[in-house]
Chains A and B, each alone.
Chain A
């Protein structure tokens, strides 16, 4: 089992460029999440997908879109990158995202620099 995989590992963009971050999990989890991590800010939820076919905004959704392509894959798109989106992006998954919270399994992260 690879767990949660993310591509690419690193990316440099110019302001205004677009890109899609890919995430896949092979644990048959229902719920998937996208976080960004900035120094001193912890992990902030961008979007999540409680189950295949559903997506919802998290704490910091502006400037991002997501697609839950199937049960395994959850992508994050930056339509017009801005320097404020320079960050480390983590994808995570959990069994079902139930009411009392569950262990989340994180991917290795994508380090994004927007110039």
Chain B
């Protein structure tokens, strides 16, 4: 079935450094969503990308959808300790159900 691969699995950065997580699929995606899960918490929706080549920004977070709609990335500029958590990408399958990537856990050292 459809799979969404996310890398890296873990990332440790110094506060102020940038961070990027990547999401890849072997098939064309109709859309992609990004979620954040704080330690001990539940996933919370961040954003949805639909168009080829789409770029959206939320303050220090930049989300991109690839031209071929097979990959996506989340980039955080100048990380802060509040950015700690696990970031998931999720893509719609043929039936509309979301297929989640394995997640990237971000640790930020103050």
Chain A interface residues toward B at CB < 8 A: 33, 35, 40-45, 48, 50, 58-59, 90, 92, 97-109
A109 vs B43: C-alpha distance when bound (angstroms)? 10
- Whether A105 lies near B96 (C-beta < 8 A) is no
Is there a chain A Cβ closer than 8 Å to B59's Cβ?
no
Determine which residue in A41, A58, A101 has the highest number of CB atoms from chain B within 10 A of its CB, and name it. Answer: A101
Neighbouring A residues of B43 by C-beta, 8 Å: 43, 90, 92, 104, 106
Shortest CB-to-CB span from B82 to chain A, Å, is: 20
- Whether B98 lies near A101 (C-beta < 8 A) is yes
Shortest CB-to-CB span from B2 to chain A, Å, is: 11
Neighbouring A residues of B92 by C-beta, 8 Å: 99-101
Chain B interface residues toward A at CB < 8 A: 1, 6, 9, 30-31, 33, 41-45, 48, 50, 88, 90-93, 95-98, 100-103
| Consensus secondary structure, chain B interface | loop
Neighbouring A residues of B90 by C-beta, 8 Å: 43, 101, 104
Which residue of B is nearest A58, CB measured? B97
* 14 further A-B pairs in the complex, CB-CB below 8 A; given A42-B88, A101-B93, A104-B43: A33-B97, A42-B6, A43-B43, A97-B97, A98-B96, A99-B95, A100-B31, A101-B30, A101-B92, A102-B96, A105-B45, A107-B42, A108-B42, A109-B42
Shortest CB-to-CB span from B32 to chain A, Å, is: 9
13 contacts between A and B (CB under 8 A): A41-B102, A42-B6, A42-B88, A42-B102, A43-B88, A43-B90, A48-B97, A90-B43, A98-B96, A99-B92, A101-B93, A101-B96, A107-B42
A99 vs B97: C-alpha distance when bound (angstroms)? 8
A40 vs B8: C-alpha distance when bound (angstroms)? 11
A16 vs B20: C-alpha distance when bound (angstroms)? 43
Shortest CB-to-CB span from B101 to chain A, Å, is: 6
Neighbouring A residues of B98 by C-beta, 8 Å: 45, 101, 104
